[in-house]
Amino acid sequence: MKLTFHGGAKMVTGANYLLESDSQKILIDCGLHQGSNFCEKHNWEPFAYKPSEISAVFITHAHIDHVGRLPKLYKDGFRGQVYSTLPTREFAELLIKDSDHILEEEARRFKKPILFIPEDIENLMKHWQGVEYHAPVTVGPFKVMFYNAGHILGSSFILVEVEGKKIIFSGDLGNSPAPIIGPWETFGGGATHCLIESTYGDRVHEDLPERKEILEDLIEDTVKNNGTLMIPAFAMERTQDLLYEINDLMEHGRIPRLPIFLDSPLAIKLTDVYRRYDRYFVHNAGLPRKHDPGHLFKFRDLKMTFTTEESKKINDVPPPKVIIAGSGMSHGGRILHHERRYLPDPESTLLIVGFQAYGSIGRQILEGASSVRMFHEDISVRCHVKAIGGYSAHADQFQLMQWLKPMRKTLKKVFAVQGEEGPAAALAQKIIDEYAVSAHVPEMGEEVVL
């Protein structure tokens, strides 16, 4: 049994793990590498394995850094089956199609061929099957099962049983419990190996009440300063969490009413998928339930701007106002237009609520850049800049350790993946020190015999 790390090694993005038995090969995730550009140049490099030899791909969740190269895999010869939860399948199709035009632009910029064409996406989806949590899938010698990872709606960690081994692939684990989808599951059934994400492997988030209080204060300051609060948000989960909490703050009179704009066609489409899968929502005292599952994302002061013309009209609305728009790392999307307008405004605020990859505009601003380059211009950054780690959809170090704890007595080896080298190394050392389990940060392309 051999495991090879073809992505997610000493980097947050590009998750892609090859698991080989004597007779068959499967992949866990097939994601896009992202960084200073939406798509990094080495996404154009050939796969280090033959796509035609892959029997199946198992997808942990729909984020583009876990699914973004699947159409290229199909284009290059893969004809096996793709498996994920039902919401993940729907989300992934929307996200992959949405990324297509950005990839075309970057292919032109890098003077590279187009990674894949729309027909590759359509054909890929014919090979994609949705399954429920805890429903076993058998592919040759591999028995696979999905468990709730609490990261985004439909996200999973994956158990692969083969040749007497139980290998856990964490995917991305949620900042648990998430307001809408609730907590992740844990696994205590004799896991022998685990690949654990480490995006925030060296830090601890604010707790949920604290993050809500910070959001409340920022909106109050925005109103007092007569400014604009810009929130670059990932279209899925982060956006819906923010809408839920802003609505809750308004309904309980904790913030004044002001215009809230969701300026993201993709986020609007994804929210429709949420409405179809409300059975995946957690229903408890903290989350009211009404007949319409979309009530969480509809409230009086919210305006969803789908068209370009609607987006432009946001400029005509005087501050104070809140604008939530993609992309989450300011790679592209409508948030750039708002940032160009309001980053130089000392009365406005940029709120960062998610991980910012090295080299991205969001990361530059977060690290104190006095200006950033966008639209072939140098844009001054004179607005307030605030980050709330508690809005990350990723587990922090404490949560990662808690999730791993039930497995510690049977684990032979843990691999810290999907994190930059520093956080991954910190988490690996923590696992060694606290659980006395062997832990390792793999290199890209590293092969391990299990």
Q: What is the pLDDT of residues 156-209, one digit of tens each?
A: 999 999 999 999 999 999 988 887 888 999 998 899 999 999 999 999 886 666
Is the CB of residue 134 less than 8 Å from the CB of residue 40? no
At residue 178, the pLDDT reads 80
Cα distances from 368 to residues 82, 137, 383, in angstroms, run 42, 48, 11
What values do phi and psi take at 292, rounded to 5? -85, 115
Q: How far apart are CA 121 and CA 61, in angstroms?
A: 17
Length of the chain: 450
Look at strands 260-263 and 302-304 and give their pairing.
parallel
- Fold exhibited by the domain 208-391: Rossmann fold (3.40.50)
Q: DSSP state, 152? A: S
pLDDT digits over 100-141, tens only?
887 888 888 888 899 999 999 999 999 999 999 999 999 999
- Fold exhibited by the domain 2-203+393-449: Metallo-beta-lactamase; Chain A (3.60.15)
| Residue found by looking up tokens 């032109």 in the block | 108
- What lies within 8 Å, CB to CB, of 404 at 6+ separation is 194, 196, 411, 414, 431, 435
Domain regions of the chain by residue span: 2-203+393-449, 208-391
pLDDT under 70 in the chain at which residues?
Answer: 35-39, 206-209, 283-296, 390
Q: How far apart are CA 310 and CA 202, in angstroms?
A: 41
Helices 238-251 and 265-276 pack at an angle, to 10 degrees, of 80
Radius of gyration of the chain (CA): 21
Q: How far apart are CA 228 and CA 238, in angstroms?
A: 19
